Amino acid sequence: MIDTENLTRKFDNLIAVENLNLHIEKGEVFGFLGPNGAGKTTTIRMLACLIAPTKGSAMVAGYNIIKDPLKVRQSAGILTENPSLYERLTAYENMDFFAQAYGINSITVRQSRIQELLEFFHLWERRNDRVGGFSKGMKQKLAIVRAIVHKPPVLFLDEPTAGLDPESAKEIRDMITKLSQHEKSTILLSTHHLEDAEKLCRRVLIMDKGRCLLVGTPDELRKKISTTPAIEVVLTKVTPEILAAIETNKKALEINQQGTRLLINVEDTHVATPEIVRAIVEKKGQILSVNAVRPSLEDAYLKLVKGEEIS
């Protein structure tokens, strides 16, 4: 659904995006992850035909962004960092205006589509209220409705949870998950919030200073970090006998104790966990929880952005 070939954008002497090659499948939720200034927004603006590339090209929904920019705009919806709604108009009036702007001329079709989306985003009861009185989270949901009112096969979301409180951010994430299933759209999500990428995206691209650092699923990126596997065991009480039993177990490489929490480095969590649990239980240990500790997407992200080597 989206293919880029050496996509590049320069602003005077600044290279905002450098030779980006990307392939995004139909129906995929794909994440652009990186710090502010990484080139995420510039990439989206090129793909949405809001700005032209300096060199290279891309195909979006089967159309070339240089040769068919109008077709690309008709095939894509975009949520910018600023919702850009008319605050003196009601929610319904906003959506009716944008639906007409996207070429939905039939009043019946517009009414049906607007009601469908406002109900989906739990905004139907507020349809006759002026947008100026909406919360930031409600405006963000309405801006997403505006972006998809014409049923685009491709949707660009630029920082959809930026500036939202945790509850509103979670609601937006939940809605995006349902939206990808409901609308069957290909979604390109730009964010510097790791939680968004972790929970929403099948694959993510980590970029910095205009360059692609790595592409893969969150699990693939986590596995590329060179860290020793570990098991976290929380007990009601840690006795010297329990510690001795773990230390003499060949599967345990190192033990770090924090109160009643033990972090045990091992070679393989699947092999070591049953043996270590058995050793603890044999010493009358009462286990509250056992977890395999794996690197987070945040660990991979920070290593890459800091320029550290990963395997």
pLDDT at 227: 65
Task: Give the Cβ contact number of residue 227 at 10 Å.
Answer: 15
Q: Residue 37's pLDDT is what?
A: 87
* Structural domains in the chain plus CATH codes: 2-223 (3.40.50.300), 230-291 (3.30.70)
**Per-residue pLDDT at 295:** 66
pLDDT on residue 190:
92
Whole-angstrom distance, CA of residue 236 vs CA of residue 43: 52
Q: What's phi and psi for 217, nearest 5 deg?
A: -75, 160
pTM, two decimal places: 0.77
How far, in Å, CA of 249 to CA of 270, rounded? 15
The reported pLDDT for the residue numbered 34 is 85
pLDDT in tens, the chain (311 residues): 999 999 999 999 999 999 999 999 999 999 998 888 899 999 999 999 999 999 999 999 999 999 999 999 999 999 988 878 999 999 999 999 999 999 999 999 999 999 999 999 999 999 999 999 999 999 999 999 999 999 999 999 998 888 888 888 888 888 888 888 888 889 999 987 777 888 889 999 988 899 998 898 887 877 766 567 889 999 999 999 999 999 999 999 999 999 999 999 998 888 999 999 999 999 999 999 999 887 666 777 777 777 665 55
pLDDT at residue 276, as a whole number: 95
* Three-state secondary structure readout of the chain: CEEEEEEEEEECCEEEEEEEEEEECCCCEEEEECCCCCCHHHHHHHHCCCCCCCEEEEEECCEECCCCHHHHHHHEEEECCCCCCCCCCEHHHHHHHHHHHCCCCCHHHHHHHHHHHHHHCCCHHHCCCEHHHCCHHHHHHHHHHHHHCCCCCEEEEECCCCCCCHHHHHHHHHHHHHHHHHHCCEEEEEECCHHHHHHHCCEEEEEECCEEEEEECHHHHHHCCCCCCEEEEEECCCCHHHHHHHHCCCCEEEEEEECCEEEEEECCHHHHHHHHHHHHHHCCCCEEEEEEECCCHHHHHHHHHCCCCCC
